[in-house]
Chain A
Amino acid sequence: MNLGLYIHIPFCKQKCLYCDFPSYPHMEGLYESYTDALCREITGQGVLFSTNQVDTIYIGGGTPTALPAPLLLRIVTAVKENFAVTTDAEVSIEANPGTVDGDTLTALRAVGINRISFGVQTFSDTLLKRLGRIHTGEEGANAVRIAKRAGFSNINIDLMYGLPLQQAEHFQQSLQIAYDLAIPHISVYGLKIEDETPFACSLAQGKLSLPSEEEEETMYDRGVTYLPQHGYERYEISNYSRPGFSCRHNLKYWHYAPYLGLGAAAHSFINRERLANTQDVRAYLECINSGCSPVEHREIADEATQMAEFCFLALRTNSGISYHAFYQYFDKDFYQKYEQQITSLTARGWLQQPDNQ
């Protein structure tokens, strides 16, 4: 089976107030050595997976484009030299609109990166400021234009709803701007206040004015109706795309396909096992440089949990659960295994069974 590669760049210019992902600002001094270590890990893992074809690569963060272009080029080159990357592979990179310029994007495109994902979040300056983002709305739109000029046709932007002070109208405007920019892929995420973030702290102190649930739902509903009306298919609960532009790498997460994570805090799913590298950048460097494994957690779930994962992940996508894929994977009949649940959920109208599956 083809393999997906996830490469984590745990750096950013400034931590957003809602973010609890493993990403760290003010680590410019480690950019060089992190790239070295990452390339070593890529080389080492490449040997182990030499028989696999790699058809998707996703460079995520943090802000991968926080790294200077030459370092990014080294990473991509290392991957290509050590893994069997297919010619039509989807190669994505995440970027912060405040960290890109035409030259960098042209260079990235030239090295084979063919998909770019901007964390735009919203086009409203007031809201962006409130989120602690480093860019303006106009910079967000401009990043998309620069990417297009640099030769990217497969572009995503992330949009968020449920932001502090956000109203349904703001969100609607952002959707409209995204549509007007002819962006082929849009991810729409709801803001979730995670523990131990500055937002969680403000919320506890009563200083964060979040939209009411009703308003939040209104925004959600706007996204769910606006985008399909404008030619975007909702192929996963948070992801919308023009035909042919769904993100093949992310679909691997939902389709229970294998992926290998590289870099600090990267997660892998290989041979039914879930692995996670240490989140601590310095610990990661130490492990790699001393020839140890950076893997901190590994778990093979029992089969019942695996099946449950298979189902709930698949149900996030519009293609749903595949009877055949389930059978192939677990050697079990889906209908027999979940007869009771299927009956009860179907009766409630929550589950549908198309004739052809």
Chain B
Amino acid sequence: MEKKWEAMSADEKQEAQFQKLLTPKDPQGNDLKFQSPEAEAAYKASIIRIKDAVQLKKTPDRVPLTLLPSMYPFISAGMTVQEAMYDYGKCAAAFKKFILEFKPDMHIGAAQAGPGKFYEILDYKLYKWPGHGVAPEHSYQCIEDEYMKAEEYDLLITDPSFYFRNFYLPRVFGALEGFTMLPPPTGILEIYGVAFSFIPYALPPVQGTFKALFEAGAEALKWAMAMGGLNAELASLGFPNILGGFTKAPFDTIGDTLRGTKGIIMDMYRQPDKLLKALETLTPIMIGMGLGAAQQTGNPVIFMPLHKGADGFLSDEQFKKFYWPMFRAVMMGLIEGGCIPFPALEGHWGSRLNVIQDIPKGKTMWMVDQTDMAKAKETLGKNACLIGNVSSSMLKLGTVQDVKDYVKKLIDTAGKGGGFIVGNGAFFDEAKPENVKAMADAAREYGVYK
């Protein structure tokens, strides 16, 4: 008899998620029609390969391959980043060509370009993007600032959603100014006074914000349809996208886009208790963000880009106090919900390996940028699947032989006994196509387990 989801253990949930990946659906919810029996076989072989690499119970038939580009598929197809952000069809076509050329066992879709028009509608201020502050051929780039003020912790802690809607969102989206006028929904309780809470919706700035939201929602949907269609088509051709969504380590949630690097560093000294309280408040919210996305997309892998825990930003003591406990708690919450956390160790993380290896075995996969892979394998790699480490500099500046030799070395060290996926270490915009091909070829040539 089939067990109810709630009654399953984390192990059983993960197993069920992989079974679900093995029986993919189309966007309408019907069984996905593969374009050929070979495509179906390739799709399933890739899922099994990734499952074995993640679970660490047995070695896969060969080291799986993934490719995690940023703007490379679009740039290499001869279009500008601006075109990829505004022409969803062109974006999808370029990504399809990229996947068919290199045939990875897993990809995470073409959502990295994002819908340019949508950002325009909402007047997104957190980034500059092609045509809006950066050149058409360049990628969007973040503008760090104190979007949350030092004195606003109590507001965030008391009611994070209210704080986000009424303070943070209007600061990063010009068109959401009307949100500043809305009362908290938790004040809507009984007939006496209920109408008062709705008066702001009559005000022109609020109505303007809602008009922008309707328009932005329609644009987001148009884009999502294009991306979803692409994923379904690629799956039918044998190439799975297993990404379910993303979430963040709470320290990065506050440090990246709310308080900024300097802001959060000062808070560690000036108001450590409030910072800790805020990090704890955000922890279940970050778990919910991952679980919710997995439920919506039906995919279990939850990406977590990690930033301020890297070597050099925090002291060991600060890392253990402010970063790691909540980051680990988010991973544990995701694992208990049947998801597979996919943290990306951006930059160097060598000094953190001894701490972050304390995770349940066979439940996570980590993208490794520039950390020494042999050391990562000896520590984190005992409990987790490692991905990547082919650097952006090698992909852009190295020779085909450099790439092949390096991938072979990675397979010999990190690939030993399984638990490794060949891939790039950082999301790349520019690379020599022959080097990307060399990485893919080397995975197939040297990665077969005997």
Chains A and B form a bound pair: no
